[in-house]
Chain A
């Protein structure tokens, strides 16, 4: 066979192998949606897939700001602070042609508040949702709720008639193992409609030509084929070979390869997720250390010293290959309450840290176990390994226990770890969410992720008061005060903000979203 024939054959094979049309977004990510039922499974990737086909009243754009979706405007009622009014978009149709009206909104919220729904916690403060007319909805809350809208961005609206006709009013009960019609079928108002779906294999969506925003958004792709590819090397190979043209989860170690490949670009932006260490400071004695009868972590000087021993720049350069943003507070930069000053407060000073340790009476150091996940955050185990060496410099012997996330997280929620890694994203973009889960003392329904044993009654009262404080300036002042205490008490050791990397073919234009949730209707194609 001559070289020319070989070349012709090869190109022939190549075109046969990937007969992709130009307007197909072949999208891969590590995970798949767990279900398509809009109110089952409050989980990131599941929401991401649903967002293409279903719509909420309000969504967020790539800067984290609110964007009108099915509601055109919204806000607390001028007459009653306990009521929020939503004006709905007119002329919107579901995929099956039914009209979208207030009735569907009321129905969807009621469905999302049923016991089997996974979204009900976000709607706890809503007592009643009522339709005023076809295009106005009022939500009555159990008290003034200044940030209600932040809880609604993943709350999808279903068609009442379709849901009732198909006998799928009850939210899929995951534990009971029912498969309902809504699990595998979609009738939303979104920019794409469902064509076919094989869970864990492939989801195919086609452009909704009747979409209300057809002229407002690019909607450049006629078709979306989403494939979950779990293995990192396989994901990258699929991108390099051109079989996919948009990859959500690029492994850090392959960024350079992808970037230098012809026809591919990597886009980077900070993610709504901060990585930090928690320390059990509330216990009288620790299980995982070698100090008897007292708890070294209860001493704020020790905690401060530990924070000062961590060299965040070194972690960024060596472990993260530049893909992180060193943090000084445990709030991502988009969140209300975050300030650049506080985020710069962590400094590295090994000598001063040693002095603090000596002052606290631990000049000879101590040993402790660090619990760390190895399959949850970007290079999580590597970060912990780096911390082991850094803490060793001030005399703390750290024994690293890196385990899968399914074993790691129960340790935190069950209080079985004294020193642990945790990452936190803030879907509401407000500090209250962080305080509720990570700062408030642990009770059955609040402070559930606070494994530090920290319990400050005065602070807890302040945190609880945030929920109903409608004076936004006073509320923000309270948030700042609470942060000051968290920072001064060194409740946590912030490490860094994660950075998201999305890779795509040169002709595909998708802006990186801090929630790792692309809205394909915004994507462009050149």
Chain B
């Protein structure tokens, strides 16, 4: 068991290092940050001086090594665009993204499971068919289009909900929350739907197909033969067994929700880390891009690691296999 975890950790570390290396080799192609940092009146000496000062005259493996050296000590450098420490900016932006991800995750999970169960039980009903067809929209329409459609309908035409931003926030230390004000809550609705719609339809379809599978199993038939109520059969026996794969998928999707909040945050001008990343790309703000990419890969690798380890705990068969020799 321990050797398994250590092996996994080693693999994760390797993945992180390679991701970082690829990221750093790409930064050169995004453009030259110096050009954005100095005004048009700059002289060629200014450019050279700044380039040396920032270490941009070094080959990228050296730049990467320096980044790692500092990152290990918790120093992610200074944003070229804002002139502030990157760790401070990321901390300031994280609550917005995490709150949005949490709300859209709950939305996806709650509505996804409910609709999935409904469409599985009433598999041939008109409502089910309608939901199934409509869910295709959620899967096939790009996020930014859904966002703009929602903004147009609820923001511009009906004027029920704000079209951009986070509304008023309340600060608790470094954490700022939009949950406690009315405008903050209202501002969450459209972005959360936009971000969670894809995951919601995914979960719904997954729950439905798993549920249909489970409903065909012998123990369900026996349960029905015993004369148990439909409600008990469906929810106590069938749904429970459906949820195992759903939890696995959802675990992996959490990373996706946070990482792919970039598009949603841009459309709604949501002040989270995704919008920060987009701004950083346009300005060639290398420290911010590097820190963001490393953070996201740490998160993905971490979630995968936890899921792998949990599997071993949850599924005894894996445990026997990996222990080997018994």
Residues of A within 8 A of B (CB): 10, 13-14, 16-18, 34-35, 40-43, 118, 121-122, 172-179, 183, 198-202, 227, 229-231, 233-234, 237-238, 240-243, 375, 404-410, 413, 437, 444-445, 448-449
Question: Complex Cα distance A243/B159, Å?
Answer: 9
The verdict on A241 contacting B155 (CB below 8 Å), with A42-B41, A172-B83, A406-B33 known, is yes
Rounded to whole angstroms, the CA-CA distance of A375 and B54 in the bound complex is: 25
| Residues on A with beta carbons closer than 8 Å to the beta carbon of B278 | 230
Chain A interface, >50% SS class = loop
Q: For B310, what are the chain A residues with a Cβ–Cβ distance below 8 Å?
A: none
Most chain A beta carbons < 10 A, residue from B41, B77, B166, B267? B41
* Min distance, Cβ B118 to any Cβ of chain A, angstroms: 24
Per the bound structure, the CA–CA distance linking A35 and B32 in Å amounts to: 21
- Minimum CB–CB distance from A165 to chain B (whole Å) comes to 22
**Quick check: is B178 within 8 A (CB to CB) of the other chain?**
no
The interface stretch among B130-138, B232-240, B268-276 is B268-276
B40 at the interface (CB under 8 A from A): yes
Asked whether, in the complex, the Cβ of B160 is within 8 Å of the Cβ of A13, the reply is yes
B residues with a Cβ closer than 8 A to A are 29-45, 47, 50, 53-54, 77-85, 89, 92, 148, 151-152, 155-156, 158-166, 182-183, 186, 266-269, 271, 275-276, 278-279, 282-284
**Contact at A445–B45, with CB atoms within 8 Å?**
yes
Contact of A404 with B47 in the complex, beta carbons under 8 Å: no
B83 touches A43 (CB 8 A): no
Of A17, A375, A405, most B-chain CB atoms within 10 Å: A17
Q: List, in ascending order, chain A residues with CB within 8 A of B54's CB.
A: 175
| CA gap between A18 and B187 in the complex, in Å | 11
Point out the residues of chain B lying under 8 angstroms from A449, CB to CB.
40
Tell me which residues across on chain B come within 8 A of A405, comparing CB atoms: 31, 35-36
Q: Is the CB of A437 within 8 A of B40?
A: yes
B83 & A444 in contact (Cβ 8 Å cutoff): no
B155–A237 CB distance below 8 A: yes
Which A residues are CB-close (under 8 A) to B284?
406
Which B residues are CB-close (under 8 A) to A240? 156
Chain A residues near B162: list those with CB within 8 A. Answer: 17-18, 241, 243
B47 x A406 contact (CB < 8 A): no
| Pick from A41, A176, A199, A409: contact of B35, CB under 8 Å | A409
Complex CA–CA separation, A404 to B47 (angstroms): 19
User: A241 and B83 in contact (CB under 8 A), knowing A231-B266, A437-B40, A445-B43?
Assistant: no
Question: How many whole Å from B188's CB to the nearest CB in chain A?
Answer: 13
B186 to A17, Cβ gap below 8 A? yes
Contact check, A230 vs B44: say whether CB atoms are below 8 A apart: no
On whether the beta carbons of B271 and A177 are closer than 8 Å, the reply is no
Q: Give, as a whole number of angstroms, the nearest-CB distance from B18 to chain A.
A: 25
The one of B30, B43, B183, B276 that contacts A121, using a Cβ cutoff of 8 Å: B43
| Assembled-state Cα–Cα distance A199/B280 (Å) | 13
B31 touching A234 by the CB < 8 A rule? no
Contact A243 B164 (CB under 8 A): yes
> When A199-B82, A227-B165 are in contact, do A14 and B41 touch as well, CB less than 8 Å?
no
Cα(A410)–Cα(B47), bound, Å: 11
A177: chain B residues at CB < 8 Å are: 77-79, 83-85
Q: How far is the CA of A177 from the CA of B82 in the complex (A)?
A: 9
Contact B271 A404 (CB under 8 A): no
